[in-house]
Structure 1
Amino acid sequence: MGHRIIQQNRGRGGPTYRAPSHKYKAELKHACGCTENVNGRILDIEHDPARHAPIALVELAEGKKMYMLVTEGMGIGDEVAWGAEAKIQNGNTLSLRDIPIGAFVCNIEARPSDGGKFVRASGVQAMLAAKSGGRVAVQMPSGKQKWFNELCMATIGIVAGGGRSEKPFVKAGNKYHKMKSQAQKWPRSSGLKMNVIDHPFGGGGHQHCGRPKTVARGTSPGRKVGSIAARRTGRTKK
């Protein structure tokens, strides 16, 4: 009987594959919906273990404090606003119908009032491309267009922390702490480097998988590695 492979262990769950959410500071939801109006002031810009982009501690007009995603150019003491009466400026959050076409936005709601789901990674932005029939087309960071309800809220600007991936880790400890905060197993060895008891691709006189890398969808969990239910493999001929 072989050992459980990584895919099986991840599916079973456990502390190795569970994000330390008790260390996270906030979910970074919008302060209100599209029918309300809220103003606030940035008190501090902090680091959140849950993400690579910085976050801002904001004091709302009624005295309540909350965290929000920081966009490039924002600083301590800046005024921010949510709602239809907010100005079209960096850091403010409005419904997509109130934002002009061509503006860069981030932290977009998937559905009205869900708090923001898309375009939240450091240094990314989306762009409003078109409006039609109560829906708004947004060009996502991937380059594809996605249609949203016009009542979905979005923050104007580009998420701060761009260029993060250009900085090398330098030390293995830095990489360790990064992976630990994201619930990823690190370091990881490829299946070819393992013993035959540990992985279907392991063992042999030299590093090779020794079997077809494409497996069926219904393959048993201990063998479900490689290209799973692939329609085709190999290089595409032009």
Structure 2
Amino acid sequence: MVLKSYKPVTPSTRHLITTQEPTLWKGKPVKQLTVGLSKSGGRNNLGRITTRHRGGGHKRKYRFLDFQRNQIQEGKVLRLEYDPNRTGFLALLKNEDEKLSYILAPQGLQEGQILTSGETGDIQVGNTLSLKNIPIGTTLHNIEIYPGRGGQLCRAAGAQAQLIKKNEDGYGMIRLVSGELRLISLECKATIGSVSNADHQNICLGKAGRSRWLGRRPSVRGVAMNPVDHPHGGGQGKTSGGRPSVTPWGWSTKGKKTRHNLATDRYIVKRRK
């Protein structure tokens, strides 16, 4: 994985920085593992906008991923692929029965590598096994919260966690990148290594059009609006809003915690920073 910057021969390449991965598959994805993806425009099932600044974007196909790693107990990596629906790359596996499946590609995975999934296995990048059989200090991703549900933690590009402790009560302690310490059952599975495409955070789109290709619509600052449109609007000349940052509906933002207490909160030993 390398970062590529462009000479400013056109306005669109003036600040453009992209990632280059020469080993990625240049063709189309496996047809039986994809389905057409319809755009929501940030609207829910009632047609109301619940997430603003969404809409448009390039046409996509959704890839079905095996987050549980139950479909293939032992498979060979055929190729690495780009996925427009997520920041990390995918790996196409094939088992002895010629069955194919997509998984999240960890950093350092190569074509032709043999991966295993089960209760036990070798401590090798890409292998999935139970936490009870993983040594303390191992880097993990695609971690289950409940046994058998499939990986739910650490699935974005470059994401990783670390197993730092095993308790006698059947729970292990995981340290997330945010600094949060969480207890997870040792019966849950996790994949060795970190997610690929760690340089995704260093990408610079370079122009507004690239944001539109990704389905991101423009966002207007509240201080540039009129008082009837936003609490920060109005004033003589340029102002800073005159109050702590809020949404157009007056709700506090920029640091305001909106997470509700869930049933799983009792498993959080230390909150994120």
Identity, in percent, stands at 32
Question: Which of the two has greater helix per residue?
Answer: 1
Q: Which amino acid aligns with 1:65?
A: L
Q: Supply the distance in 2 between the matched residues of 1:122 and 1:209 (Cα, whole angstroms).
A: 35
- Aligned pairs (5 A) from 1:195-234: 195-208=226-239, 212-213=243-244, 223-227=249-253
Query: Number of matched residues?
Result: 210
Residues 113-158 of structure 1, C-alpha deviations (whole Å, 9 max, x = no match): 1110001111121111000110010111112211101111100011
Give the alignment partner of residue 194 of structure 1, picking from 200, 203, 225: 225
Q: Which amino acid aligns with 1:170?
A: G
SS where residue 56 of structure 1 aligns? strand
**Correspondence 1:52 to 2:87:** yes
Deviation of 1:187 (Å): 1.8
Quickly say closer, same or farther: Cα 1:212–1:173, change in 2 above 3 A: closer
TM-superposition CA deviations, 1:208-231 (whole Å, max 9, x none)? 36664478xxxxx96333359x69
- Distance across 2 between alignment mates of 1:22 and 1:51: 11
Q: Which residue of 1 is the match for residue 69 of structure 2? A: 31
What displacement does 1:17 show?
A: 4.0
- Secondary structure of the 2:178 match is coil
Go from structure 1 to structure 2 and tell me whether the alpha carbon gap of 1:22 and 1:177 turns closer, same or farther (over 3 Å shift): closer
Question: TM-score when scaled to structure 1?
Answer: 0.76
Q: Taking structure 1 as reference, are residues 19 and 154 closer, same or farther at Cα in structure 2, changes over 3 Å only?
A: farther
Q: CA separation in 2, counterparts of 1:148 and 1:59?
A: 30
Q: Find the counterpart in structure 2 of residue 43 from structure 1.
A: 78
**Aligned position for 1:176:** 212
CA distance in 1, matches of 2:161, 2:84: 24
- Pick the aligned partner of 1:66 from 97, 101, 116: 101
Residue 144 (1) aligns with residue 180 (2): yes
- Any idea what SS the aligned residue of 2:117 has? strand
Q: In structure 2, how many angstroms separate the alpha carbons of the residues matched to 1:210 and 1:160?
A: 41
